[in-house]
Amino acid sequence: MLQIADTFLPYFALWFLMYKSLAISPLLTVGLAFLAAGFLVRIFIIQHDCGHGSFLGNRRANDTIGFIAGVLTFTPYHYWRHRHAIHHATAGNLDRRGVGDVWTMTLREYEAADWWTRFRFRVFRNPFLLFFVGPFYMFLIWNRFAPLKAGWRWHRSVLLTNLGIAAVMAGLVTVMGLRSYLLIQLPVVVIAMGWGVWLFYVQHQFDGVYWARQKEWDYEKVALEGSSFYNLPKVFQWFSGNIGFHHVHHLSPRVPNYLLEKCHLANEKFRRVKALHFRESLRCMGYRVWDEENGRLVGLGPFFW
């Protein structure tokens, strides 16, 4: 309950301050957007924990908070929860890629692919598109639809979230006008979702990561070697809801974010996991494909291509 108070309330307060700041300076509004984006990332982590049923002890309470958080993060809560569960069941599995993960080809697949597939893959893995354009498209456009083959339950999740977003947007536009709404909402979403995608990326795309075919795939190794311990400065650790302790989370998703660090410190097995620091993590942007022969991620030439 304390996390709800120290996350949602400051986020709403910052929205009010950003609205008032528009009359002073748009630069002040953008500055406040960076802070608001941090709280929005934290809201997404709370939604994430609700999806695992770990945030609170009551499922209905988890689903209620998760849905509200999903409206604020432009994410259909129940449909996202379903896809994220698949991610946990298939992370690091070369034979079960494609749901809830970052598109990753093996070096052999890339070399055997036609020019159009290679082109699409390299465009997708371009850092600018992956961390700036991609999050904008995914959260504001792609999340507004479910695949035609998806069941009614998932279409309903998307529809209810869209209605919630429309209701919030209509109320805010009525109060502050469309221009003010867009000047506040768009920077916050772009910054927050870019940061969120970056956090997700480095959790499974780093030097020394474990990936394997189905017959060798091991759940514990995927957690401890295929999920990073992203050792962030305390302030960023707080805003990211301790998600840097991803090795703990993947081994036991029912541990809530507010207990991940405690679990890490209490268990020798967790403390032996090599930490990934921020400067080192920047090199992760250069990784493109999985080299099966050498068992590691490698690049494909120029950094931005």
Per-residue pLDDT tens over the stretch 272-285: 999 999 999 999 99
- Answer whether residue 301 is part of any domain: no
pLDDT per residue as tens digits for the range 167-193: 999 999 999 999 999 999 999 999 999
Find the angle CA(67)-CA(219)-CA(263) to the nearest 5 degrees.
Answer: 65
- Answer whether residue 292 is part of any domain: no
User: Which structure tokens are listed for 252?
Assistant: 């036991």
Instruction: Give the pLDDT confidence score for residue 239 in this predicted structure.
Output: 97
Q: Within a 10 A sphere around the Cβ of 294, how many other Cβ atoms?
A: 9
pLDDT of residue 195 exceeding 90, the answer is: yes
- Answer whether residue 293 is part of any domain: no
Q: In 3-state terms, the chain is what percent helix, strand and coil (to 5)?
A: 65, 5, 30
- Answer whether residue 303 is part of any domain: no
**Does pTM surpass 0.75?**
yes
Supply the DSSP symbol for 210.
-
Confidence of residue 305 (pLDDT cuts 50, 70, 90): low
User: Which structure tokens are listed for 177?
Assistant: 């006008």
Instruction: Give the pLDDT confidence score for residue 80 in this predicted structure.
Output: 95
- Answer whether residue 277 is part of any domain: yes
- Answer whether residue 54 is part of any domain: yes
Instruction: Give the pLDDT confidence score for residue 149 in this predicted structure.
Output: 83
Look at the chain and report how many structural domains it folds into. 1
Mean pLDDT for 67-84 is: 96
Q: Within a 10 A sphere around the Cβ of 215, how many other Cβ atoms?
A: 6
- Answer whether residue 298 is part of any domain: no
pLDDT per residue as tens digits for the range 225-270: 999 999 999 999 999 999 999 999 999 999 999 999 999 999 999 9
* Positive or negative torsion for Cα 292, 293, 299, 301: negative
- Answer whether residue 45 is part of any domain: yes
Residue 88 belongs to what domain range?
Answer: 2-285
pLDDT of residue 51 exceeding 70, the answer is: yes
